[in-house]
Amino acid sequence: MRRVVITGMGPVSPIGVGNEAFHKAQLEGKSGVRRITRFDPSKLRCQIAGEVDINPEEYIDKRELRRLDRFVQLALIAGELALKDAGLDLEKEDKTRIGTLVGSGIGGMETWELQSRIFLERGPDRLSPFFIPMIIANMASGQLAMRYGFMGPSSTSVTACTTGADAIGNAFRIVQLGEAEVMVAGGSEAVVTAMAMGGFDVMRALSTRNDEPEKASRPFSASRDGFVLSEGAAIVVLEEYEHAKARGARIYAELVGFGRSADAYHVTEPHPEGLGASLAMRAAIRDAGIRPEQVGHINAHATSTPVGDKAEVKAIKQLFGDHAYRIPITATKSMTGHLLGAAGAIEAIASIQALYHGVLPPTINLTDPDPELDLDFIPNTPREQKVDYVLSNSFAFGGMNASLLFKRV
């Protein structure tokens, strides 16, 4: 198997766009959760979300924007940032050896809602001819490939909240096996819409802390009452190690392990003992060929739901034993909210940045720790600490689990 390294990153998140802004916001413990502005949320129980403050026209031609759903727009912006960060000279690269693998948990929800209204109010003849191409989940990956002329493997992952991690993990395998030299991979989601919010709202899955939105996402807290829905995208450039070395690329980290599993338990709830989550983490560690006690930091899935956080902590204790109490754990969603299909990718970037800079970001809003959840969650303040391995967890509706293991280079 060939070695695979990360040479470029493009975060587009509610707390910052681009590497520097995203990293700085984490260390400041910034929350990106606010009252919703993309539509009137007054009829909903939950009226808050994490929105990305960005003008797509600064990155994409205005005429092209009309043919792209917001999830594709955010993916293209994240891809541009990642490729610039990687410093690839695309005039010299063999584009048949560069591929794309960008996933989305839901796809073009905003376009679907708009076109549904047009269909019902004005009839089928008034639908946009771009309706179907705008909503299908593989279009972020396809548009990214078309924009840069990448003719290597192009695919997508759709595994709900594990999508971003799965996309990066699947791209990792493609480079490992020699099908491509470079893969541009990650996730994108843009479902801060009336229907999506209403759907999650009626499930009672969302926090209703509308009067204090910045404090609503509070993983591992006794007062956690649900997750906060967010939008965003995150793309990384994965590159075969010798290829990166030959061009003098800056290497942020090496991806050394990828593990997956299924809870086979419930459509929305995790296994209460965290069995599937533990299997995914164990598989990633085994894939890397290291011992569990070598893991120095975990970026937890930690959505801020009562059952989810509890199950993940049980999974960590089950796998790591006494070492679980010595592993600093970050919940990025305390700051960003839950980016669904982009969550695993944005948290992979947070994990890589922690390795590269030697600073572990905090879990904010942890002012009333749940006494049942007694691990080291780096409460409220970042911690300077160099570690050699970081594990990034992603779990999803349908019982899907994925873990990525990164190594400091």
The candidate with the shortest Cα–Cα distance to 146, out of 100, 196, 94, 88, is 100
pLDDT, tens only, 225-245: 999 999 999 999 999 999 999
Q: Interhelix angle for 70-86 vs 109-122, to 10°?
A: 150
Catalytic status, residue 46: no
CATH number for the domain spanning 45: value is 3.40.47.10
Q: Which domain holds residue 35?
A: 4-246
Token digits of residue 104: 């989305």
Are residue 205 and residue 347 in the same domain, yes or no?
no
Would you place residue 1 in the very low, low, confident or very high pLDDT band (cuts 50, 70, 90)?
Answer: confident
Does the pLDDT of residue 123 top 90, yes or no? yes
Tell me the HSE value of 328 on the side-chain side, using a 13 A CA sphere: 26
Are residue 221 and residue 363 in the same domain, yes or no?
no
Instruction: Confirm whether 47 is domain-assigned.
Output: yes
The candidate with the shortest Cα–Cα distance to 260, out of 236, 297, 293, 286, is 286
The mean per-residue pLDDT over the stretch 357-378 comes to 97
CA max distance for the chain? 64
Give dist(CA 51, CA 324) in Å, integer: 34
Instruction: Confirm whether 252 is domain-assigned.
Output: no
What residue type is 33 in one-letter code? V
Are residue 343 and residue 385 in the same domain, yes or no?
yes
Token digits of residue 364: 């904010």
Q: Is residue 141 within 8 Å of residue 156, measured between CB atoms?
A: yes
What is the pLDDT at residue 114?
97
> Judging by DSSP bridges, how do beta strands 98-103 and 16-17 pair with one another?
unpaired
pLDDT, tens only, 232-283: 999 999 999 999 999 999 999 999 999 999 999 999 999 999 999 999 999 9
Please state, for a pLDDT cut of 70, what percent of the chain lies above it. 100
Are residue 116 and residue 265 in the same domain, yes or no?
no
Q: How far is CA 326 from CA 141, 194, 264, in A?
A: 39, 42, 30
Number of domains present in the structure of the chain: 2
Instruction: Confirm whether 251 is domain-assigned.
Output: no
Assign residue 302 a region: left if phi > 0, alpha if psi is -120 to 50, beta otherwise? Answer: left
Q: Is residue 391 within 8 Å of residue 286, measured between CB atoms?
A: no
The candidate with the shortest Cα–Cα distance to 394, out of 328, 349, 357, is 349
Instruction: Confirm whether 278 is domain-assigned.
Output: yes
Domain boundary among 246, 274, 294: 246
pLDDT, tens only, 291-321: 999 999 999 999 999 999 999 999 999 999 9
Give the pTM. Answer: 0.97
First to last CA, the chain: 18
Please state, for a pLDDT cut of 90, what percent of the chain lies above it. 100
Does the pLDDT of residue 398 top 90, yes or no? yes
Would you place residue 387 in the very low, low, confident or very high pLDDT band (cuts 50, 70, 90)?
Answer: very high
| Active-site residue identified among 48, 98, 106, 161 | 161
Token digits of residue 57: 């026209």
Give dist(CA 149, CA 233) in Å, integer: 21
